[in-house]
Structure 1
Amino acid sequence: MANGLKSAQFLMQSRLSDAAGESAETCFDLGVAYSCGTGGLPVDLIEAHKWFNLAALKGSEEGQTLRAEVAGEMSAREIAEAQRQARALIATAQRRAA
């Protein structure tokens, strides 16, 4: 269990670092990790929706599909929070690029 958690933490750290590079695949992978609780991590549908949303915005059809699936399990408030977090991340990335 400890090795699985360490592997999951490494995956998350490396993917979060890569997400700044705006890769649809990276965003999608993060959505999967959060939606499934990869490596024993707790499932976080708000984070999953946020990352699937970002993947979809970058052209990922799989991101669109899984965002809709995750949204079906969320309340309107949770979806709104996920969207707010996605917008904030986009704004941060735009500021860094400027």
Structure 2
Amino acid sequence: MGNSIKSAQFLMEARRSRATYGSAEDCFDLGMAYSCGTGDLPIDLIEAHKWFNLAASRGSEMGQSMRAEIAEEMTAREIAEAQRQARAIIASAMVSGQLRAA
């Protein structure tokens, strides 16, 4: 059981790394993983909202839709935290030259 948790965490870290600078689809996939829970990982709506927000900012209509759907289950404080985290990723990616301003 410990190995499956480590494997799931490794896969999530690889997805997170790829999605940070990747496509809307990469971000959407990560949002889905957090919104549904993947393997032994718990559901995390703040993380899900953050990744759906990043997917939406990269042109994903499904990202917009899923972000709105899970926002209905979140507090204003949780949404603000997810947005803050998404902005930090965008700023970091822009500074490193991996992402261009829209």
Same fold at TM > 0.5: yes
1:2 Cα offset (Å)? 4.1
Q: Output one character per residue of 1:59-89: Cα deviation in whole Å (capped at 9) or x when no partner.
A: 1111111101110000011101100110011
Residue equivalent to 2:53: 53
1:14 Cα offset (Å)? 1.4
Which secondary structure does the structure 1 equivalent of 2:39 belong to? helix
Which secondary structure does the structure 1 equivalent of 2:68 belong to? helix
Cα distance in 2 between the residues matched to 1:95 and 1:28? 23
Cα distance in 2 between the residues matched to 1:67 and 1:92? 22
TM-score (norm 2): 0.87
Runs of 5+ consecutive residues of structure 1 not aligned to the other structure: none
Q: Output one character per residue of 1:33-75: Cα deviation in whole Å (capped at 9) or x when no partner.
A: 1111111201110000000000011011111111011100000
Aligned length: 98
**Which structure 1 residue ranges, 4+ long, deviate > 3 Å from structure 2?**
1-4
Amino acid of the residue matched to residue 87 of structure 2? R
Whether the 8 Å contact between 1:7 and 1:39 is mirrored in structure 2 is no
Runs of 5+ consecutive residues of structure 2 not aligned to the other structure: none
Residue equivalent to 2:97: 97
Identity of aligned residues (%): 70
TM-score (norm 1): 0.90
